[in-house]
Amino acid sequence: MKSLLKLIAGGTAVFMLLAVGQEWDFFKTAWFGADEPVSAPPEVDRKEVEESLRRTLIVIGHLYGSGGDRRFAERLAISSAILDEVIEDVRYLGRQHLVQEQTLTDLEILELDTLSADRVELRTREQWLVRVLSTTSQLAIGPAQSHVSHGRYLLSRGGKGWSVAAWEMVSPASPSDGPAGPQGSRD
């Protein structure tokens, strides 16, 4: 019985040594700490990303103001899920006999987090001027309203440049909400 226990203990020790040897890269950092410095995320051209988002928001404003003209939709650098959301919102307004003219008057990038060479998350403060028109009378429904919104955008770089992959409006009091990957509305 003693020899069987010695054999099992010896086999277990050899197995453990071989397992550690095979996975040495994992074990050396777990046991001894990382000996290689953590690489910084790649540099991203902040102005290029900001201009891409600005163009996208301006074209979305034109899409709303046109009542859903597909020519604007075709020019948007956004995911199909976001496009569907915007189109549905424009259609809802249309069913109410309304058109919403949205003008981006200021875009401030509060934070830019580089997730990889081709993915960034932006947090913004946006100033919008919104005017609602009746499609039946072509008259404004009240005065134009100015409002500030705070957004979180996930942008991805592809063959045609940066595009908005996901978005959500956030409270200005929650600058550190969750990881990238939001979906939300721009009401």
When the candidates are 3.40.50.2300, 3.40.30.10, 3.10.450.240, 3.40.50.300, the CATH number that belongs to 46-170 is: 3.10.450.240
- Please report how many Cα atoms fall inside a 13 Å half-sphere around the Cα of residue 88, on the Cβ side: 10
Residue-level pLDDT at 177: 44
The side-by-side arrangement of strands in the sheet containing 161-170 is 98-116, 119-134, 145-158, 161-170
Alpha-carbon gap, residue 140 to 99, rounded angstroms: 9
Band of residue 175 on the pLDDT scale cut at 50, 70, 90: very low
Which of the two residues, 6 and 182, has the higher pLDDT score? 6
**Contact between 51 and 68 (Cβ < 8 Å):** no
- pTM exceeds 0.85, yes or no: no
**Contact between 168 and 182 (Cβ < 8 Å):** yes
Residue-level pLDDT at 29: 58
**Domain spans in the chain, listed from the N-terminal domain onward:** 46-170
Place of tokens 């953590």: 38
For CA atoms 25, 26, 28, 32, the dihedral sign is positive
Our measurement of the distance from residue 10's CA atom to the centroid of its chain's CA atoms, rounded to an integer in Å, reads 53
> Tell me: the pLDDT tens digits for 119-171?
999 999 999 999 999 999 989 999 999 999 999 999 999 888 999 999 998 88
Which of the two residues, 10 and 88, has the higher pLDDT score? 88
**What is the full DSSP assignment across 130-185?**
EEEEETTT--BSSS-EEEEEEEEEEEEEETTEEEEEEEEEE-TT-TT-S-S--B--
